[in-house]
Amino acid sequence: MDPTNFGYDVADLTAKDRDHMIHPWVDLGLVKSREPLIVVEGEGATVTDARGHRMIDGIGGMWCVNVGYGRDEIAEAIADQARRLCYFSPFGIIGTPPSIEFAHRLTQYASGDLKHVFFTTGGSTAVDSALRFVQFLNNFLGRPQKKHIITREYAYHGSTLFSASVSGKPADRGNMDLITGTIHHLPSPNPYRRPDGMSLEAFCDAKVADLENKILELGAENVACFIAEPLLASGGVIVPPPGYQRRTWEICRKHDVLYISDEVVTGFGRLGHIFASKPMFDIEPDIITCAKGLTSGYVPLGAMLVSDRLYAALTETAGKGQFFANGFTYSAHPVACAAGMANLDILERENICARVQEIGPYFRERLGELAALDMVGDVRGSHFMVCVECSADKAKKTVPPAEWEVARRIFEKCMPKGLMVRPMGHLIVLSPPLVITRAQIDETVAVLRQGIVEVADDLVREGLIKH
């Protein structure tokens, strides 16, 4: 074993990875020619790779390690529950103390009458369950024609057939046989891409009108729901214009269209609230979906919260031989719910939401400084959800060709300097653990700046961009 490898045989792990791992969301054709990143430890807002190289985790695992790495309290809650009762079936009227208590605690944070929790195994299954719930409800209520779903381009809602079908990132849709016909994608509400000269207010009017026009075109009696992330996360941290969320929610109310707020990323402190829908965007959705920060990624868990109104309609099924036939072996997993409880204890005790409200704007503002760089077209986001968009021609907002792999090059420049960022084509996404310190934020900005400058210099040297 190579002694520089921090106790891990990196060559052996690399060979096994290449031969046996199928990684998600990756061009499998490139796996054999590229080194896998093997992450072995985490502490606070940092992770360490198999060679012993420590980095600030600018990704937060994958928008999820909200309370940070190395929390003994969560590890112990997981171990205690696994010893006491590792698992029992959630099907039927069966519960475990952690799942019952956790459902109760979550409803204390939800706005309005979102008082009923259905646990799933992650975000995709939460979204899938929410859509199936709406479908079942309308069929049961005798309005089977009300099944059209409205969503948006550049939304990301998951990777099951249903949740992938309501997602709208063009690159993810190739060669996939998704559900069509009943799913409608509105243009993305990305202010950066609004027509030249259009004000933010006029852009907001146009995006709200897109929704209402689509409902009218389909006939409100045929539209089941609108599904929306408050900020579109994986689509490139798209922040709709001010007032958009509230106004689209009002349109839904007006036309009896259910509103599903997908808070898989925005929840559990990332924007400074356990659920951001009401306090930040003044909406009271009919359903909220969540996952990720729900357990800070320590174990998988997702949930949908359903309003009293919808839940009450479903209790009308009693004795009619119909029920919501949806659920997973690992729904409401007691170990995951125990982790979720410990995670919520930490969020509460350490006032992490208040901390994010205080320090999140600093993170956003400091990253905003990068907008002055020639290769940066836009910096957008809120609190601990930020995206730096690179541009081949800043004035024309030109997207650099995919083969330049701009974001990947920046990622590779930043890693040796102690920062991990998430590269997505020409976008760099940042969503660190919420416990990141001010000093680590400053370091993140300094390293990322350096990485972008070096890549821009390389591109000039290669004759790809002119300065």
Ligand X SMILES: Cc1ncc(COP(=O)(O)O)c(C=O)c1O
Residues at the interface with ligand X (CB under 6 A): 122-124, 127, 156-159, 229, 233-234, 262, 264-265, 291
Closest CA to 133 of 297, 289, 270: 289
- Of 290 and 452, nearer to ligand X (C-beta) is 290
> Do residues 411 and 417 make contact, with C-beta atoms less than 8 angstroms apart?
no
- Of 159 and 317, nearer to ligand X (C-beta) is 159
CA distance 137 to 140: 5
Tokens of 386: 């930020």
Q: Compute the least distance from the CB of residue 290 to ligand X, in Å.
A: 9
- Of 302 and 400, nearer to ligand X (C-beta) is 302
Q: Compute the least distance from the CB of residue 421 to ligand X, in Å.
A: 16
Tell me the residue length of the chain: 467
411-416, long-range: CB < 8 A, 24+ apart: 411/451, 413/450, 413/451, 413/454, 413/455, 414/58, 414/447, 414/448, 414/450, 414/451, 415/37, 415/53, 415/55, 416/53
Q: Compute the least distance from the CB of residue 455 to ligand X, in Å.
A: 26
- Of 385 and 465, nearer to ligand X (C-beta) is 385
> Do residues 453 and 461 make contact, with C-beta atoms less than 8 angstroms apart?
no
CA distance 42 to 421: 15
Q: Compute the least distance from the CB of residue 150 to ligand X, in Å.
A: 16
- Of 262 and 389, nearer to ligand X (C-beta) is 262
- Of 298 and 404, nearer to ligand X (C-beta) is 298
Q: Compute the least distance from the CB of residue 229 to ligand X, in Å.
A: 5
Tokens of 256: 């009896």
Tokens of 184: 């409608």
- Of 64 and 353, nearer to ligand X (C-beta) is 64
> Do residues 405 and 447 make contact, with C-beta atoms less than 8 angstroms apart?
no
- Closest-CB residue for ligand X? 123
